[in-house]
Amino acid sequence: MSKQAKTAISPTREENYPEWYQQVVRAAELAENSDVRGCMVIKPWGYALWENIRTGLDKFFKETGHSNAYFPLFIPVSYLEKEAEHVDGFAKECAVVTHHRLEQGPDGKLIPAGELEEPLVVRPTSETIIGATYAKWVQSYRDLPILINQWANVVRWEMRTRLFLRTTEFLWQEGHTVHETEAEAWEETRKMLEVYKQFAEEYMAMPVLTGEKTAGERFPGAVSTLCIEAMMQDRKALQAGTSHFLGQNFAKASGIKFQSREGREEIAWTTSWGVSTRLIGGMIMTHADDDGMVMPPRLAPSHVVILPIIRNDADRDEILKYCNETAAMIREQSYAGRPVEVVVDARDINAGEKGWGWVKKGIPVRVEIGPRDMASGSVFVARRDKGPKEKYGQSREEFAATITSVLEEMQQGLFDRACAFRSAHTREIDNWDDFVKFFKEEDGGFALAHWDGTEETEQKINDELSVTIRCIPFDIEASGAGECIVSGKPSKGRVVFAKSY
CATH of the domain at 348: 3.40.50.800
Q: How far is CA 478 from CA 229, 242, 321, 453, 482, in A?
A: 19, 23, 62, 17, 12
Residues 272 and 125 in one domain: yes
In-domain check, residue 413: no
**CA angle in degrees (0–180, nearest 5) for 352-354-357:** 110
The proportion of the chain whose per-residue pLDDT surpasses 90, expressed as a percent, equals 93
Q: Amino acid identity of 319?
A: I
Residues 122 and 64 in one domain: yes
- Conformational region of residue 222, where left means phi above 0, alpha means psi within -120 to 50, and beta covers everything else: beta
In-domain check, residue 5: no
- 231, 259, 287: which is the final residue of a domain? 287
Containing structural domain, residue 440: 426-498
Does position 279 have pLDDT exceeding 90, yes or no? yes
CA distance 445 to 418: 13
Determine the pLDDT at residue 351.
87
Residues 402 and 464 in one domain: no
394-435 pLDDT, tens digit per residue, is 999 999 999 999 999 999 999 999 999 999 999 999 999 999
Residues 323-350 have a mean pLDDT of 96
Residues 334 and 238 in one domain: no
In-domain check, residue 447: yes
54-97 pLDDT, tens digit per residue, is 999 999 999 999 999 999 999 999 998 887 777 777 888 999 99
How many domains is the chain partitioned into structurally? Answer: 3
Residues 73 and 216 in one domain: yes
Residues 281 and 328 in one domain: no
Determine the pLDDT at residue 1.
34
Does position 217 have pLDDT exceeding 90, yes or no? yes
